[in-house]
Chains A and B, each alone.
Chain A
Amino acid sequence: MASPKLELQREHGREEILFSLSGCDGEFYAGGSDGRVHCLNPTGQAAPNRPPLEGHQSYVTGVACSRGHLWSVSYDGLLNRWSIESGRLISSQKAHQKWIRDVQLSPDGMTLATAGDDMKLRLWDSQTGRLIHNLEGHAAQSPQGFSSMLYTCCFSPDGALIASADRIGEILIWEVSSGQLLQRWHASTMYTWDEVQRLRSIGGIRSLCFSPDQSTLAVGGMGHVQNVDGLGGKARVEWFELQSGKQVGTFESEAHKGLIEGLQFTPQGSHLVAAGGSSKGFLILLEPKAEKAALEVESPMYVHQAVFTSDQGDLLVVGHQKATSWKLT
């Protein structure tokens, strides 16, 4: 089998930082640092005649879309619902008391999950906007007594489970239907607390992705950081086996430092794409549970999110003041 290749196709400069990305019927929506949601075409270019959606007061950190609707979340604590066709804001509700870090839709599109720094994972009926479960299990404070942060969540492929992960490296697995906490794992290396030099922390689990066969969960962040002034830890993925809860693999990049902000499997399910950055951005291709990368490339910007735009390996990537498109072959 030929070695995989990942080649940069197009690069578009942007004024704002793009934090989040979701595809919907051939169009792609990216949440920005300007508090707006921007419509992009598959190459990352701004879609003509699609003005940005304005309805947030802070960074838009999550977008998700399904069945003609788009949901966006922001550090302003709002969960907004938009009509994709008209661009009209349908509803807006205060979903969390602190920053919202992520929004995800279940595979069937019926359940919406939001994760916020109030350390709550909330499940919503995507049709009615009704709160179904308020899941509390993440510690509000770090072991050192500072506020923790709940960064990310991810539905399992069958939609029965949802995982959530926080700053201090805790991963919780919940049953969607009942809201019951099933498992609690810890990836402690993802969190660095500097007691001696700087008296502060950095890190956290920034991305999660179930394997297509639902046997493992990939967890993304960075390894131990010597100097917490910057993102100097090695880009890191840990694999946990769902049934046993055991950690069954670890990848640490020798080539790239920084946080892994996004994880997703290729359309064929053979590889995991890990995207992130420090002072430079990166894209890393991994086989499941692998300790070495199949491919690592440098991105022209810090990457916040990547989404496949086709089954043929076309990848749209957004991040620090840029949107780029790539071809995986």
Chain B
Amino acid sequence: MQPPRNPPGHCPTTEHQLSRRLFMNSLAVSLAGTGGLIGNAGAAHLFDQEPLQQQLKAKSRSVILVWLAGGASQFETWDPKPRRSTGGPFGSIPSSIPGLHVSELMPLMARRMHQTCLIRSLNTKDSGHDTASVMMMRGRKDEPAMRYPDIGAILAKELARADSAVPDYVSFYSQTEGRNFSKLTPSFLGARYAPMELNQSLMPPNLKKLEGFSDLDHQARAELQALLAKQFAQQHASPWVQSHAAAYARVQGLMSSQSLFDLEKEPLAIQERYGPSQFGRQMMMARRLAEAGVPFIRVGRAWWDSHGQNFETHQEMVPELDRVLAALLDDLRQRGMLDQTLVVVMGEFGRTPEINAQLGRDHFSRAWSALMAGCGVQEGAVFGATDPDGKEVIDGEVGAGELFATMLEAVGISHTKHYQFGQRPIPLVNYGIEPITQVLS
């Protein structure tokens, strides 16, 4: 039986009752955070327009973005067109949503589609890896004088917990191809909201204490550092000093959460569910991080750019995606986390309906798909449609901005919110862009 749904854009209140302590801590960090941002950004002033209560509720939510780098094919995943000339050789299978079929390569997700919200009508109008990656992560194109913060940085700021010892934004991307295309950036929000990028390992480097260095030694050093920092701050009061102290405290917090990054702590049955692949282990780690309070985690799986042998590439990669996604949804649901965790599956674009001479599909942004599940989005919803050959969107066309606004609203952040950068108000999404209300719960 499904748990009762929540009011639109809100996660269950029963699991999110804020304690007085958390409330005060949140208030404190909200105010302190403003000062820190001024220090980091140099010129930025931040203010919130939404009621404090709503803001605080949002602070126990997380987003896991599954980034299909290089552009997975919508035909071989979420929007199959079997027996059409554009459809390729794969069949489709019925899903747990009556009337909805997905690629035969996704039997596990087919049985879980009633837990998800599928958007089949993205027209994002950019088919370049780097420019499209940036746009999808920032929800819009940059301007000559403005580099916008990406979704991870915004949600790190908006959802960060007051007493968190863990980072606010973590990105996994182990392959080298396309790693830097997204140019992840907090921009004017400041380095506090930059991602911790774990590209080589599941664990941040240098997290372990030195050999022969006891907890007592560690504590003594911290106390000495705190004393010296306090004296320094009294003599040199400035936002920069304050920021330095905050950063130091976070490093200490990270070191204390060493066991968080140890996947061997997971029961074997859970490890088996995600599978032994690097992608599976990163996704399992993403769940652990979300559970520990990390607001935004991106797991990049590269590289889907199948200009040659598209079908074999998807034959190889989609079953892994199917297994790992299904494991994540099951895991989140069984832990009661799915209502607090928004899962988004997308890349920078989809792939062409036309099949080229190498049996490949090329870049295509005119009609492709993304999947959402969990916090703030409807279960079992399908939004938009493409024509029978998958060449055009014929219903519910939306772009990168609308998807971005939907992610914000799903976790309780108003898409009409502004930041202030100097004298300029910076909206979280461009003016005129609206969320896809039909998919919000």
Query: Chain A: residues with CB nearer than 8 A to chain B?
Result: 15-17, 33-35, 57-59, 75-76, 99, 117, 145-147, 149, 196-202, 229-232, 258, 277-281, 301-302, 320
Which residue among B70, B177, B303, B308 has the maximum number of chain A CB atoms within 10 Å of its CB?
A: B308
Contact B176 A16 (CB under 8 A): no
Interface string of B277-309 (1 = CB under 8 A from A): 111000000000000000000000111011111
Q: Give chain B interface residues in 303-325, CB to chain A under 8 Å.
A: 303, 305-309, 312-313, 315-317, 319-320
Cβ contact within 8 Å between A281 and B316? no
B358 in the interface (beta carbon within 8 A):
yes
A200 to B356, CA, bound (A): 20
Residues of B within 8 A of A99 (CB): 89
B315–A231 touching, CB < 8 Å: no
A to B CB contacts below 8 Å, 15 in the list: A15-B85, A57-B83, A57-B91, A58-B89, A146-B316, A147-B315, A147-B316, A147-B319, A199-B278, A199-B302, A200-B313, A200-B317, A229-B70, A279-B356, A301-B357
Is B276 an interface residue, CB under 8 A from the partner?
Answer: yes
How far is B88's CA from A99's CA once the two chains are assembled, in angstroms? 13
Chain B nearest CB: distance from A145 CB in Å?
A: 6
CB-CB under 8 A from B307, the residues of chain A are 229-230
CB contact between B303 and one of A34, A197, A231, A278 (< 8 Å): that residue? A197
Q: Mark B91-121, 1 if CB is under 8 A from A, else 0.
A: 1000000000000000000000000000000
B200 to chain A, nearest CB (A): 11
Does A202 contact B308, Cβ atoms closer than 8 Å? yes
**Which residues in B have their C-beta under 8 angstroms from that of A280?**
357
| Chain A residues in 8 Å Cβ range of B176 | 196-197
Taking beta carbons and an 8 Å cutoff, which residues of B are in contact with A?
Answer: 70, 82-83, 85, 89-91, 174-177, 276-279, 301-303, 305-309, 312-313, 315-317, 319-320, 355-360
Least CB distance from A29 to B in Å reads: 19
B357 touches A230 (CB 8 A): no
Q: Give A279 to B359 CA distance when docked, in angstroms.
A: 10
Q: How far is the CA of A209 from the CA of B277 in the complex (A)?
A: 36
The answer on a CB contact under 8 Å between A76 and B91 is yes
Whether A198 pairs with B89 at a CB distance below 8 angstroms is: no
Measured between beta carbons, the chain A residues less than 8 angstroms from B278 are: 199
Q: State whether A302 and B357 are in contact (beta carbons under 8 Å apart), knowing that A99-B89, A230-B308 are contacts in the complex.
A: yes
A229-B91 contact in complex given A15-B85, A34-B85, C-beta closer than 8 Å? no
Q: Is the CB of B277 within 8 A of A145?
A: yes
The answer to whether B276 and A145 have CB atoms under 8 Å apart is yes
Given contacts A16-B85, A230-B308, contact A198 B277 (CB under 8 A): no
**Cα–Cα distance between A9 and B53 once the two chains are bound (Å):** 78
Q: Which residue of B lies closest to A75 (CB)?
A: B89
> Ordered nearest first, which 8 A-B pairs have the shortest CB separation?
A198-B303, A230-B308, A302-B357, A197-B177, A320-B357, A231-B308, A75-B89, A59-B89
Q: Are the C-beta atoms of A279 and B357 separated by less than 8 Å?
A: yes
B305 contacts A229, C-beta separation under 8 Å? yes
Do the beta carbons of B316 and A17 come within 8 Å of each other?
Answer: no
Q: Report whether B308 and A229 are in contact in the complex, using a CB–CB cutoff of 8 Å.
A: yes
Given known pairs A145-B277, A197-B175, A277-B357, the reply for A33 and B89 (CB within 8 Å) is yes
B316: chain A residues within 8 A (beta carbon) = 146-147, 200-201
Shortest B389–chain A CB gap in Å is 13
Contact residues in B for A200 (Cβ distance below 8 Å): 303, 313, 316-317
User: Do B358 and A277 touch (CB < 8 A)?
Assistant: yes
B272 to chain A, nearest CB (A): 13
Is the Cβ of B308 less than 8 Å from the Cβ of A278? yes
* CA A280 to CA B313, docked complex, whole Å: 20
Closest to A15 in B: B85
CB distance from A75 to the nearest CB of B (A): 4
B136 CB to closest chain A CB (Å) equals 20
Return B294 CB to nearest CB of chain A, in Å.
Answer: 24
- Known: A15-B85, A200-B303; 5 extra A-B contacts, CB below 8 A, are A16-B85, A58-B89, A201-B316, A230-B358, A278-B308
Cβ-closest chain B residue relative to A61: B89
A278/B91 in contact, CB under 8 A: no
CB nearest to A167 among chain B residues:
B312
Contact A231 B175 (CB under 8 A): no
Instruction: Please name all residues of chain A whose beta carbon is closer than 8 Å to the beta carbon of B91 when the two chains form the complex.
Output: 57-58, 76
- When distances are taken between beta carbons in the complex, the residues of chain A under 8 Å from B70 are 198, 229
What residue in chain B is nearest A281 (Cβ atoms)? B357
| Cα-based distance from A117 to B89 in the complex (angstroms) | 14
Q: What's the Cα separation between A199 and B281 when bound, in Å?
A: 14
Minimum CB distance partner of B305 in chain A: A229
B277 touches A33 (CB 8 A): no
